[in-house]
Structure 1
Amino acid sequence: MNNMKYSICFISFIFLFLMSMINFFFMMYFIMNNMVILLEWEIISFNSMTIIMSILLDWMSLLFMMFVFLISSVVIYYSKSYMSSELNLMRFIILVLLFVFSMMLLIISPNIISILLGWDGLGLVSYCLVIYYQNLKSYNAGMLTALSNRIGDVFILMVISWMMNYGSWNYIFYLEFMSNDWEMIMISSLIIMAAMTKSAQIPFSSWLPAAMAAPTPVSALVHSSTLVTAGVYLLIRFNMLLIDMFFLKLLLMLSGLTMFMAGISANYEFDLKKIIALSTLSQLGLMMSILSMGLPNLAFFHLLTHAMFKALLFMCAGVIIHMMNDMQDIRFMGGISLYVPLTSLCLNISNMALCGIPFLAGFYSKDLILEMVSFSELNLSIFFLYYISTGLTMFYSLRLMMYLMVDDYNLMSIYNLYDEDYTMLKSMFTLLFMSIISGSFLSWFIFSYPYMIYLPFNLKMMVIYVSLLGGLMGYLISNMKIYSINKFILTYNLSNFLCLMWFMPNLSTYGLSYYFLNFSQNLLKNIDLGWSELYSGFGMTKILKKYSVFYMIYQVNIFKIYLFSFIIWMMMILFMLLLFSN
């Protein structure tokens, strides 16, 4: 049975890896020849109604598919070892493959109906994966994830109904010449709101850290290239419609605040996976905000480079959690670089790529984004949000490194740390290679000519200034231990506000659901189980029961009762006779 499980893992890995390579060569061919292919397959034709499946193949969809296939193949290979003690490994692999298939449907669709299928598929399968470990925390997280994403599904359904005005659901035909149409403005607004739910922007941010209840390989897949990037990808496809919209300026502000809020919350968090999840939220804010400025290629570039090092970060976190007897609190870790050097190497390089250290993957996209922000005509608040968030990324990354690598080991006196799981290491080293080289080779593919951005010296060096300042703060805070300085610098309420994602879970989930659930409980208690019950179901039952007990006495075959009844009848007849004789 075990061999069968592992062979399915291996077959899935080989298939996905081969698909990734095929997509890569096709993408090179498409870029070189500047090709786009639109395939239409008529599924059914009935009178004037036709149902058509459309597929759009261009360099962007092929490149994104290559990355999704590569990361999912590596994640499945990693799961072979990580989930080795899992009884239902087959179910897990099938769910991951369904997840990847849903993402493929979303990527290649120029049709809003097939986009809904992929979009809804992602939501449904992500719910199944978040509740994979069956406990109360997972169920709550799964419900929060599913319901938050359900809002986005409703917006997509509304887009489908609005697009019936045009006679076809192939949005790709309307992008250029209908951009000033009032209906298209409505459709664009709905698309932006749908993308905000999937990519967890304020006020829909609380589901993303909660989704950490899923197994770590799933987190690596979800947070790198599938679920959370679906919203960003949708906006990249619809970008022509969105330029010069007022709603886009609002999105710029909200995504900037998301980036800032996630950066602050990550500095207060002690759960290893949640810190990495909040860094994903911060990077999603960066992608959405650069999209709002009208630079879709740059957002796509950062989306792909981010996918590589974020998947690697989660895999390293998975190895560390495994070794620590399923402990996720970073305060119990420390000095692991002495015992697990290869995993520590992968973790540090992916962390540095996240910070944008020169010549790693993150540097090429992040530096270009920040220079374009400095170059654009934005106000000071957006400028500060970008640069402070960049500093905060360095802040929490260095804090994480200090807690994991430098501090003393705090868990057990007798411990067993090992770095010899070659299945996990092979998959991690594949992504390590990509985290180092993907930035440079993507910049050659996506941008046919180099950007030359002329800025004053201090503005050009601003990224280095904020990164150094953020790194210094991270070093000092991790040495002083942040929970001790809270008592001196911050009041309890303010630190709670910063720590709990600006009370986002309370506002968007408990705040909304608590009062309604409380009201419905009172209705149940006082109406359904109260007066209405007394005068309908329960009251009727009581009366009928009373009468049935009375009739049952007659139905029990007791001679005394029959004799007593006979005497009563005889007395009644005698009484009647006497009455009428008079």
Structure 2
Amino acid sequence: MQKFSICFISFFFLFIFSMVNFFFSIYFIMNNLVVFLEWEIISFSSMKITMSILLDWMSLLFMMFVSLISSVVIYYSKSYMSSELNLNRFIILVLLFVFSMILLIISPNIISILLGWDGLGLVSYCLVIYYQNIKSYNAGMLTALSNRIGDVMILMAIAWMMNYGSWNYIFYMEIMKNDYSMKMVGVLIILAAMTKSAQIPFSSWLPAAMAAPTPVSALVHSSTLVTAGVYLLIRFNFLIIDTFFLKILMVLSGLTMFMAGISANYEFDLKKIIALSTLSQLGLMMSILSMGLPELAFFHLLTHAMFKALLFMCAGVIIHMMNNIQDIRFMGGIGGFIPLTSLCMSISNMALCGIPFLAGFYSKDLILEMVSMSNLNFYIFLLYYISTGLTMFYSFRLMMYLMINDFNLLSVYNMYDEDFTMLKSMFILMMMSVISGSVLMWMIFSYPYMIYLPINLKLGVIYVSLLGGIMGFLISNMKVYSFNKFIGTYNLSNFLCLMWFMPNLSTYGLSYYFLNLGHNLLKNIDMGWSEMYSSQGMFIILKKYTVFYNFYQMNNFKIYLFSFILWMLFIFMMVLII
């Protein structure tokens, strides 16, 4: 019982904290309040070190969602990680992760943002390598190195902002927007956000991070690590709104959305399918941000966090029941064995697809209608709509493989739906997946919001969703003997399944090249020439001279006499010459 106590305490305090934040966020929205707190830690010789906190409706609402999901995930871990000997260590790591995210959310200062940002990167590495096998180590290294690029970009932005005498960026947005040289800060922030939110070409770390335990995946890929980049861009949106780099971000995020949707249809690992769907939704959020609609991106970020955390938790239950098998080809017909988990899975999947009146519908429908109404070109328009269809495609394919097709695991299995710790935590998120969309719609967009479009554009979302659902149903019912889509188009399937060869490029190309370069630089410069011409070289020279002088100091009379005669001869010769 002792090792479960920290789980319950953490769950209780985080849940209370989320409820407090929820009521405060409603109060702040209704009264249009912003609170800026500054705490002077030390003042020395006219230099002040201060800690700043920004509380507005956005930071409070996001903190509410992060703390609610993390409380539920910690309660879920009580059962999921029950065989873990170091459960307390796992919970403390998760709490450190949540604390880093909260620090990032409430920071109006780019220095404290870096602390939260680096905290997320460090703790995520510790959580990804938690199972300590070679796959986890490789995934952790890829995650850490990819996120390191974003850390460097924020460090460069800090250096670039030194001209202003303070790093409280919220006060300088207007000046920085009009100052051409300060546009560089916006570009650096965009690059940092792209690494953390796994946009092309930094996408390969996100599916690799599935090596972490499932509760960690539920937390990391719903509301914390991957959304940090999106949240940072929402905060800096005023600065980056007119930059040319934002147009490049729109194309890259649209391609990320499209690539992740296609790869998810070729994937058979249950957790990687959900990870690729997260990547697709992140592309959607980033592309909406690049259109200049930060509130809409924030709305989708919050609704997505709920059903994606639930989806991962359901996947964790299924993997647990299947004796740690993650391949969906072994699964099937689970609806009859674990009906309550299947109910949660179905609701979260439907919310992801944007089925009317669930959480995902309100944000996705509004996003696509805004896209239809804006003056974007046909290429971006197609990327949005095809990616929406692909979401339906892989969701239906997943549902068919898991719940409707025949059970394919031929060994003895034991599936039961009586783990009430897991079920209670999942039911909290299931309720939120149903109601959070409409509640947030009333809260964030309090003014009447009506979009008029031609009937075909208005129904376009339903058309592509239906088409995607039908395709997913047909593909999952294809028999191996009648037609195999992989053997028939092996090279194309290989290209699409491997995320356009991005893992190969980032792992074997960039990472290997830079790590090898770093190794050679360390060996030849740090431990080679630098040592020779500094510490080790000085040591060798001094050692030789010490031996030489030591030989003189041993009171050797012959050497003194010989030296004396030589000096006398030298003086005599000098006198003769003069």
- TM-score over 0.5 for the pair: yes
What is the Cα deviation at residue 180 of structure 1? Answer: 2.3
SS at match of 1:417: coil
CA distance in 1, matches of 2:378, 2:523: 54
Among 440, 443, 455, which residue is 1:442 paired with?
A: 440
* Superposed CA RMSD: 2.0
Per-residue CA distance 1:192-218 (angstroms, 9 max, x = gap): 000000000000000000000000000
CA distance in 2, matches of 1:514, 1:197: 18
Among 168, 188, 193, which residue is 2:186 paired with?
A: 188
Counterpart of 1:252, as a letter, is M
Counterpart of 1:296, as a letter, is P
CA distance in 2, matches of 1:290, 1:36: 25
Counterpart of 1:98, as a letter, is L
Aligned residue in 2 for 1:486: 485
CA distance in 1, matches of 2:518, 2:15: 51
Counterpart of 1:485, as a letter, is N
Per-residue CA distance 1:340-364 (angstroms, 9 max, x = gap): 0000000000000000000000000
Structure 1 segment 273-284 matched on structure 2, within 5 A: 273-284=271-282
Aligned residue in 2 for 1:111: 109
Per-residue CA distance 1:147-193 (angstroms, 9 max, x = gap): 10000000000010001011110000011233021232000000000
Counterpart of 1:281, as a letter, is L
Aligned residue in 1 for 2:510: 512
Counterpart of 1:212, as a letter, is M
Per-residue CA distance 1:52-85 (angstroms, 9 max, x = gap): 1100000000000000000000000000000000
Structure 1 segment 378-457 matched on structure 2, within 5 A: 378-457=376-455
CA distance in 2, matches of 1:28, 1:352: 28
CA distance in 1, matches of 2:362, 2:521: 58
Per-residue CA distance 1:409-465 (angstroms, 9 max, x = gap): 111343211000000000000000000000000000001213211110000000000
8 Å CA contact 2:270–2:326 kept in 1: the answer is yes
Aligned residue in 1 for 2:541: none
Among 460, 463, 476, which residue is 2:461 paired with?
A: 463
Counterpart of 1:87, as a letter, is L
Larger CA deviation: 10-19 vs 23-32: 23-32
Counterpart of 1:506, as a letter, is N
Aligned residue in 2 for 1:544: none
Q: 1:454 to 1:45 in 2, by over 3 A?
A: same
Q: What is the number of equivalent residue pairs in this alignment?
A: 526
Percent identity for Structure 1 against Structure 2:
84
Structure 2 residue 250 is matched with structure 1 residue 248 = no
8 Å CA contact 1:269–1:499 kept in 2: the answer is yes
Aligned residue in 2 for 1:135: 133
What is the Cα deviation at residue 488 of structure 1? Answer: 6.4
What is the Cα deviation at residue 524 of structure 1? Answer: 12
Aligned residue in 1 for 2:347: 349
Q: 1:63 to 1:481 in 2, by over 3 A?
A: farther
Structure 2 residue 481 is matched with structure 1 residue 501 = no
CA distance in 2, matches of 1:523, 1:160: 27
CA distance in 2, matches of 1:469, 1:337: 25
8 Å CA contact 2:262–2:496 kept in 1: the answer is yes
TM-score, normalized by length of structure 2?
Answer: 0.89
Q: 1:58 to 1:200 in 2, by over 3 A?
A: same
Aligned residue in 2 for 1:220: 218
Instruction: Mark the runs of 5 or more structure 1 residues left unpaired by the alignment.
Output: 528-582
Among 100, 103, 114, which residue is 1:102 paired with?
A: 100
Structure 1 segment 533-572 matched on structure 2, within 5 A: none
Structure 2 residue 8 is matched with structure 1 residue 10 = yes
SS at match of 2:176: coil
Counterpart of 2:506, as a letter, is S
CA distance in 1, matches of 2:23, 2:10: 20
CA distance in 2, matches of 1:13, 1:517: 41
Instruction: Mark the runs of 5 or more structure 2 residues left unpaired by the alignment.
Output: 526-578
Structure 1 segment 34-53 matched on structure 2, within 5 A: 34-53=32-51
Aligned residue in 2 for 1:565: none
What is the Cα deviation at residue 509 of structure 1? Answer: 2.0
Aligned residue in 2 for 1:146: 144
Structure 1 segment 192-271 matched on structure 2, within 5 A: 192-271=190-269
CA distance in 2, matches of 1:52, 1:521: 39
